[in-house]
Amino acid sequence: MGSGYTVAPGSGGDWTFEFNASALGCPRGGKPDPVSERERTLRKGEPQDEDFVLQHTGRYAAGKAARYLDGVRERVSSCSPREGQSVRIAAQDFAGEESVLVVFDHGGGSLARILLVRKGDVLTEVYTKPVRGDAANRDLGRKAAARF
């Protein structure tokens, strides 16, 4: 991510794929419970123009992380949000063994890009603010996979 970030308290789950998918009325699914997990929030700047990165990383029972990502793809392709909203997979397979960049458009200029990267049974999910472009998210995904 670069220098100048500090670790901050957790952020809750209102930024995750599951939260965004639910907000757009996508088919229900569910993330499996991890065997172990870690959540991290990194912040930089003043509150009015803050730059932050939210990350949840979990180790899952054998095969569950891969099945979850299969389900993410299925749910995105079968989602039919209201007019003025959309969800799409912007990029795939750019990091780790498997990766997906999902873009949620909540309407009114509100975008969320959720990055999911899997390596073995470890899955990390990342959200950044301000929202970064697809290329920057792919680069972030490669960096995350290298740290596994």
Choose among 99, 66, 98, 73: nearest CA to 87. 73
Kindly report, residue by residue over 60-86, the tens digit of the pLDDT: 999 999 999 999 999 999 999 999 999
Domains, the chain: 6-147 (3.30.530)
Does residue 5 carry a pLDDT above 80? no
Span 10-30, pLDDT tens digits: 666 678 999 999 999 999 988
Average pLDDT over residues 94-123: 95
d(Cα 66, Cα 68) in Å, to the nearest integer? 5
| pLDDT for the residue 42 | 83
Residue 2 pLDDT level (bands cut at 50, 70, 90): low
